[in-house]
Amino acid sequence: MKYNSAIHHRRSIRLKGYDYTQPGAYFVTFCTYQRDEIFGEVINGEMKLSPLGEIVLQEWFRSAEIRKEIRLFEDEFVVMPNHGHGIVWIVGADGVRPNMERAHVMRPNTQNQDAHRASLWRAPRSLGSFIAGFKALVTSRAGQELNMTRIWQRNYYDHIIRNDRELNNIRWYILNNPLNWQLDRDNAQNTRRLSPPETVEEYAKDVTDRVLKLKADH
């Protein structure tokens, strides 16, 4: 199904009352404007980055270099033709990744999340602040070096990772994303003939379902 802005316009949904500065792991998905495949292409199961895709890859990791509260890892990030997936770690005062069993002590009510929209204000040292800075750097370089504008779909999706099993599933999904591009719902030509996910819950469910199937096939 081809991207239609009237149908697929998405706004990131943050959990109402959740403190996005607290230590923990967050699965993040960001998409291109109108799902245009401007970050590169998948050839024989490998992602071949375009010049813009290279900028996205570089700025993802460079964005964390100036933020002491952020940790990023190469095996927890992938740039796809029209989107990217990554795990963002917000660390505590000791500067190390938190234990999944102790992370996210605050567990807000997650019902009716579609009713809660992101605030225009972003807390310092928060997930939203990091993503906004990353996107701004990519947009700036794209304009200066490639004369490109309108890079991003509005906002982004985040999923709070609750335990080690979920963390491992998401890592598996990220690493295998290029190999399974033909199944990816963000691929307009996906063989499952499914439209892109409309909510972060759909992304999370798709990750779980696909990882279970991939592991079964292997």
Q: pLDDT digits over 65-119, tens only?
A: 988 889 999 999 999 999 999 999 998 645 556 665 544 433 333 333 333 333 3
Which residues does residue 24 pair with via DSSP β-bridges, in sequence order? 90
Residues whose CB falls within 8 Å of the CB of residue 199, separated by 6 or more in sequence, listed in order: 13, 113, 114
Q: Is the pTM of this model over 0.85?
A: no
Domain boundaries, the chain: 12-217
The domain covering 12-217 belongs, at the CATH homologous superfamily level, to Transposase IS200-like (3.30.70.1290)
Q: pLDDT digits over 205-216, tens only?
A: 888 888 888 777
Average pLDDT, the chain: 80
Q: pLDDT digits over 12-70, tens only?
A: 333 444 556 778 899 999 999 999 999 999 999 999 999 999 999 999 999 999 888 89
Three-state SS letters, 90-111: ECCCCCCCCCCCCCCCCCCCCC
Higher pLDDT: 38 or 201? It is 38
Q: Mean pLDDT over residues 121-125, rounded?
A: 55
